[in-house]
Amino acid sequence: MPIPFSLRRASALALILAAPCLSGVALAQTPAPKAATPAPAATSPDTVVARVNGQPITGADLALAGEDPALSLPGVDESAKQNLLVDYMIDLKVGAQAAEAAKVGDAPEFKRKLAYFRDKLLLDDYLEREAKKAVTPEAAKALYDQTVKSMKPEEEVRARHILVESEDEAKAIAARIKGGEDFAKIAGEVSKDPGSKTEGGDLGWFTQERMVKPFADAAFKMAPGQVSDPVKTQFGWHVLRVEEKRTKPVPTFDEMKEQIDQYLTRKAQQDTIVKLREAAKVERSGSNAPAAGETKKP
């Protein structure tokens, strides 16, 4: 029995069919290709990679489809991805041509959807353009300098811990460690914390607010190398050893650049919308309550 086309392409097109414009029924009826279509040799924007009933599909069309989050293909190599995008665009064109012939585009509901998505695309592109003006190297550096100036020196501790259920267990473990046994070895044997026991109980560097109060109070009072008496928290009983203490280093510009660019982008887009709203004459009708600065029609 032949495998249906939709299943033959399950490893490829099924990843792409998050886009709602294709019909699974139609795909299942499409005859299976005899052989895989080779990837086009060139993908410049003007290069025609396929034709559907005479209508060309270009490299620019593939690039646009490739930007669609619904068509994300992680782990697929470029040659295979291009073949998948060509297949997708062929199916898209076939379906769109059939819809045109059926005059789907003449329906009032379709026209409303088209107007909505046109407005959305216009806004998205406009906000992207305005954000690019704001995200400059100078603006990013100025924001970084302003941010690090407001950062207060903060102490960090690197510590190990062993978590057990009872105080008696914790006392026995503390006595073993203070008697010379290896902390990391005991942590690997008995600690109930799955996240750190394989690391010998090592919690890495942390600031005081990142830990529950009894644990943090004990850790930040101790000197490096010191082993604690049992400490109780809502998780159980802990035995701690402080490994190192330091003042938390200020992150470099390169470490913060991605966050800074994201902040500048969001702020520029938000500021743009606020300015547009302030300059526009907006009237709400019916029971919709007006926002600040808007009027309401009776």
C-alpha triplet 235, 240, 244: angle, nearest 5°: 130
At 294 the pLDDT is 66
At 77 the pLDDT is 83
At 4 the pLDDT is 30
Half-sphere exposure of 207 (CA within 13 A, CB side): 8
Sequential DSSP letters for the chain = -PPPHHHHTTTTHHHHTTSTTS-HHHHHHSPPPSSPPPPPS---TT-EEEEETTEEEEHHHHHHHHT-GGG--TT--HHHHHHHHHHHHHHHHHHHHHHHHTTGGGSHHHHHHHHHHHHHHHHHHHHHHHHHHH--HHHHHHHHHHHHHTPPP-EEEEEEEEEES-HHHHHHHHHHHHTT--HHHHHHHH---HHHHTTTTEEEEE-GGGS-HHHHHHHHHSPTT-BPPPEEETTEEEEEEEEEEEEPPPPPHHHHHHHHHHHHHHHHHHHHHHHHHHHS--EE-TTPPPPTT-EE--
At 291 the pLDDT is 66
Max Cα-Cα span within the chain: 86
Cα separation, 298 vs 293, in Å, equals 16
| Ranges under pLDDT 70 in the chain | 1-43, 288-298
C-alpha dihedral (131, 132, 134, 136), degrees to nearest 10: 150
- Tens digit of pLDDT for each residue in 23-67? 333 333 344 444 444 544 446 888 999 999 999 999 999 999 888
At 250 the pLDDT is 86
Per the CB < 8 A criterion, the answer to whether 268 and 133 are in contact is yes
